């Protein structure tokens, strides 16, 4: 195909753009994803132009009808962009001109490629924020189901990857529910900033035409209009914020994946995973690998890389628009797709996991993780906590030396460490007693977890 297609910016040049330079600068293979947003923004712009008398109603009708035809061609594959088209905006405008003739040229009245791209990007961000928010809500729903199912199952809580204290397994799932709730909140907050129209800023200085920027914003569902035309076209903070918010989502998914990988190993054997979400080995027939969790953990690095990518692109750019900003699309699009796919598949995997309750019950009933209960028992006997901590540490050392569990140590043995011990210590040395003894708000007791679940479900109504 010839490279002699009309480029929208070429009117003052006497020589055609070098073919290799055009190929290097072409972005249609990336920004083709924006065709729906580009057509949506163009329809709103044409409608406003007609309402303000800048173009005729008939011309606007031809433009809108033509744009809808171009959209159908792109969706069906009848129109396939090629790199010679430079970008998706040129693809659409050139095809529109083929369909309706000279009226197509009036679509660009009062609009620059700069505010056009900025508008498309905000529409894309808004759509993907809504998509991710919905996926997070789905993840939270699954976590609530898990928390409810295992609200009275006791397992170990960990610090430093060492067994710490027994807790309700439901409490564990509600911790993830809280984390993803913050992710949704960050995206919701970002959506407010994204939902502002840049249309009318033109190249960077505004337009001499009597554009009704408020009307364009209204037609596109934006809640406001730019306050500064320079900032409107040069702002990529929203892209940075979006990728950053997604990086935090992926960090949470990666941490969750780490637990799934560890807990499904033979060494832990706390968690089972359906065969539908595990893989085997090409050489070791006995293997069952948590590959989906591993892939999610690995893809987190891609999103982190995208964040560093866009920060590096923007760090030295003078105001206002610079062509470097074309490179914001690959990290933005890859981040949106990777995060959405990761949330979706992780939720499906999570739905097909289960806790090995019998093993957890056996392990938590005979473990040193009840040591804190001994210290707090002594505190209730009016022994200062630091002293209680030292006494308990000696008891733990004794239990290890004698190869005894804490509940199997006799009362006479306990009293060699402190006269404060009586038969009541054995009431505290039960996993369910330990869990349910927690009094503070948001703690791991059965009652607290059930309250957390109830509040979370009520907030969704």
Q: Is residue 441 part of a domain?
A: no
Give the tens place of pLDDT for each residue, 153-185.
Answer: 999 999 999 999 999 999 999 999 999 999 999
Q: Is residue 14 part of a domain?
A: no
pLDDT higher than 80, residue 136: yes
Q: What is the pLDDT of residue 282?
A: 84
pLDDT higher than 50, residue 362: yes
Q: Is residue 390 part of a domain?
A: yes
pLDDT higher than 50, residue 3: no
Global pTM reads: 0.91
Closest CA to 241 of 341, 314, 297: 314
CATH code assigned at 403: 1.10.40.30
Q: Mark which of 358, 377, 393 sits at the end of a domain.
A: 358
Q: Same domain, yes or no, for 397 and 336?
A: no
pLDDT higher than 50, residue 1: no
Rounded to an integer, the average pLDDT of 271-289 is: 90
The pair of structure tokens assigned to 144 is 């609530």
Q: Is residue 317 part of a domain?
A: yes
Over pLDDT 90: what percentage of the chain?
83
The residues carrying an active-site annotation are 160, 281
Q: Same domain, yes or no, for 241 and 288?
A: yes
* Count of structural domains, the chain: 3
Q: Same domain, yes or no, for 370 and 335?
A: no
Asked if 333 contacts 30 with a C-beta cutoff of 8 angstroms, the reply is: yes
337 CB-near residues (< 8 Å, 6+ apart): none
The pair of structure tokens assigned to 27 is 């972005």
- Which residue segment(s) compose the domain that 420 sits in? 366-429
Q: How far apart are CA 277 and CA 352, in angstroms?
A: 8
Q: Mark which of 334, 358, 382 sits at the end of a domain.
A: 358
Average pLDDT, the chain: 93
Q: Same domain, yes or no, for 76 and 56?
A: yes
CATH code assigned at 257: 1.20.200.10
Q: Is residue 454 part of a domain?
A: no
Q: Same domain, yes or no, for 389 and 332?
A: no
Q: Is residue 353 part of a domain?
A: yes
Q: Is residue 162 part of a domain?
A: no
Q: How far apart are CA 172 and CA 448, in angstroms?
A: 12
Give the tens place of pLDDT for each residue, 22-58.
Answer: 777 778 888 889 999 999 999 999 999 999 999 999 9
Q: Same domain, yes or no, for 105 and 130?
A: no
Q: What is the pLDDT of residue 2?
A: 43
Neighbour tally for 32: CB within 10 Å? 18
CATH code assigned at 77: 1.10.275.10
Q: Same domain, yes or no, for 136 and 25?
A: no
Residue 110 pLDDT level (bands cut at 50, 70, 90)? very high
Q: Is residue 455 part of a domain?
A: no
Q: Same domain, yes or no, for 189 and 309?
A: yes
Q: Same domain, yes or no, for 78 and 215?
A: no
């Amino acid at each position: 195909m010839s490279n002699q297609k009309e480029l929208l910016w070429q009117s003052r040049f006497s020589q055609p753009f070098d073919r290799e330079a055009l190929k290097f600068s072409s972005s249609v293979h990336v920004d083709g994803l924006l065709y729906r947003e580009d057509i949506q923004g163009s329809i709103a712009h044409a409608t406003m132009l007609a309402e303000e008398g800048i173009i005729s109603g008939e011309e606007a009708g031809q433009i809108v009808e033509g744009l809808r035809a171009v959209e159908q061609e792109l969706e069906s594959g009848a129109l396939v962009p090629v790199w010679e088209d430079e970008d998706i905006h040129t693809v659409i405008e050139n095809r529109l001109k083929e369909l309706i003739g000279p009226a197509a040229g009036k679509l660009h009245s009062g609009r620059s490629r700069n505010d056009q791209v900025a508008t498309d990007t905000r529409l894309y961000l808004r759509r993907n924020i809504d998509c991710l928010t919905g996926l997070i809500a789905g993840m939270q729903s699954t976590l609530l189901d898990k928390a409810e199912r295992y609200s009275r199952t006791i397992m170990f809580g960990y610090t430093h990857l060492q067994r710490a204290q027994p807790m309700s397994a439901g409490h564990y799932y509600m911790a993830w529910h809280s984390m993803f709730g913050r992710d949704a909140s960050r995206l919701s907050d970002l959506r407010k900033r994204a939902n502002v129209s840049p249309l009318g800023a033109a190249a960077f200085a505004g337009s001499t035409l009597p554009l009704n920027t408020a009307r364009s914003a209204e037609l596109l569902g934006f809640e406001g209009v730019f306050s500064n035309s320079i900032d409107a076209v040069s702002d990529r903070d929203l892209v940075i914020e979006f990728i950053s918010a997604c990086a935090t989502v992926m960090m949470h998914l990666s941490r969750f994946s780490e637990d799934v990988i560890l807990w499904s190993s033979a060494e832990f054997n706390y968690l089972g995973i359906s065969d539908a979400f595990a893989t085997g080995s090409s050489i070791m027939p006995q293997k069952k690998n948590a590959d989906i969790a591993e892939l999610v953990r690995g893809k987190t690095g891609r999103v982190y890389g995208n964040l560093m990518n866009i920060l590096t692109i923007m760090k030295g750019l003078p105001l206002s628009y610079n062509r470097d900003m074309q490179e914001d699309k690959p990290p933005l699009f890859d981040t949106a797709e990777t995060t959405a796919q990761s949330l979706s598949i992780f939720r499906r995997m999570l739905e097909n996991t289960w806790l090995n309750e019998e093993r957890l019950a056996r392990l938590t009933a005979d473990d040193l993780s009840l040591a804190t209960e001994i210290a707090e028992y002594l505190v209730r006997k009016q022994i200062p906590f630091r002293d209680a901590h030292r006494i308990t540490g000696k008891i733990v050392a004794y239990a290890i030396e004698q190869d005894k569990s804490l509940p199997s140590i006799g009362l006479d043995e306990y009293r060699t460490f402190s006269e404060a011990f009586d038969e009541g210590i054995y009431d505290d040395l039960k996993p369910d007693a330990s869990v349910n003894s927690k009094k503070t708000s948001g703690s791991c007791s059965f009652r607290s977890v059930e309250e957390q679940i109830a509040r979370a479900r009520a907030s969704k109504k």
